[in-house]
Amino acid sequence: MNTIDMTDAVWQRLLSIREGETVAGEAAAMALYGPIAGARGRFIIAQVGQSLDGRIATPSGDAMDVSGPDGLAHLHRCRALVDAVIVGVNTVKADNPRLSVRLVDGPSPVRVVIDCNGALDGDEGLFHDGGAPVIVVTSADAPGKGLPNAETIRLQSSGKGLATGAILDALAARGLHRVLVEGGARTIARFIEERQVDRLHVAISPLIIGAGPSGINLPPVARLADALRPPAAVYNLGSDVLFDCALSDRQGQ
């Protein structure tokens, strides 16, 4: 139950917004982060930090400073507001990420790595840093390697890998409903293609990398009329500009 505190100032503000004034300051922060923080059921955000030319890393896989400081703070806010963060195995191999909340106050989410073919060897940093719990999602017939300090979830894989809905069901069964899909491109694409993403956050940093993987790779469409055109709100984060795209109308309630 939400309690309304309708002061005159709040009402005047709502009337201004009705007339087309853009929200700023606290209202903008609530509009951007409120749906994540307030979700009580399944709510899936995918976030990409990319350059002006749509790259998420250099061709050799260096992605450490694609986002500016405010883009990174945004990512950490998202992490702090969800129950679990998902990355693909290539991101763990390339970046050795901690996936923790360090730039803002707040809890670190459970860390989930999708490693369909059992490519992790257990030496990766997140298995040994004493941080939030780690879950590895793998195929039922992948090699049965024991990974240290981690739970392994085994799911049936089809020729196309693991169904992203089944991954989210397995996390929901563990009480993990609000989920951030952090990358990389292939992992985010699978979740978007299978219509599991409610909000797509694209944070653009004023940087031109020139070559390298792009943030989102979906099956090609012949005509622009068939491209995804989600309703989007645009936020000035400071160092980066954020597009908050609604890919579904689910509110996570």
Ligand X SMILES: NC(=O)c1ccc[n+]([C@@H]2O[C@H](COP(=O)([O-])OP(=O)(O)OC[C@H]3O[C@@H](n4cnc5c(N)ncnc54)[C@H](OP(=O)(O)O)[C@@H]3O)[C@@H](O)[C@H]2O)c1
Shortest gap between Cβ of 25 and ligand X (angstroms)?
26
Closest approach of Cβ 224 to ligand X, in Å? 24
d(Cα 167, Cα 25) in Å, to the nearest integer? 36
Among 70, 95, 124, 244, binds ligand X (CB under 6 A): 95
Binding segment (CB under 6 A) for ligand X, from list 27-35, 143-151, 177-185, 228-236: 177-185
Q: How many Å apart are CA 232 and CA 34, to the nearest integer? A: 16
Say if CB 49 and CB 67 are below 8 A apart. Answer: yes
The gap from C-alpha 115 to its chain's centroid, in whole angstroms, comes to: 17
Tell me: does residue 162 bind ligand X (CB under 6 A): yes
Our finding on whether 241 is near ligand X (CB under 6 A) is: no
Q: Near ligand X by CB under 6 A, which window of 77-85, 121-129, 158-166, 236-244?
A: 158-166
Question: Which strand (E) or helix (H) includes residue 246?
Answer: strand 241-246
Contact between 136 and ligand X (CB under 6 A)? no
Q: What is the DSSP code string of 78-121? A: HHHHSSEEEEEHHHHHHH-------SSSSPPPEEEEE-TT----
Binding flag, residue 91, ligand X (CB under 6 A): yes
CB of 244 to ligand X, least distance (A): 15
With respect to ligand X, which residue has the nearer C-beta, 32 or 155?
A: 155
CB-nearer residue toward ligand X: 21 or 121: 121
Among positions 30-59, residues that touch ligand X (CB under 6 A) are 48-49, 56-57
In the chain, helix, strand, coil percent, each to 5?
A: 25, 25, 50
Q: Which of 103, 104, 119, 166 binds ligand X (CB under 6 A)?
A: 119
Both structure tokens of 191 = 């979740």
Give the range of 20-28, 89-97, 123-131, 232-240 binding ligand X by CB under 6 A.
89-97
Confirm or reject binding of residue 186 to ligand X (CB under 6 A): yes
CA distance 43 to 168: 10
| Alpha helix segments (H runs only) across the chain | 8-18, 25-38, 69-81, 89-95, 164-172, 185-193
Q: Which residues bind ligand X (CB under 6 A)?
A: 48-49, 56-57, 61, 63, 66, 87-91, 94-95, 114, 116-117, 119, 161-162, 164, 182-187, 190, 213
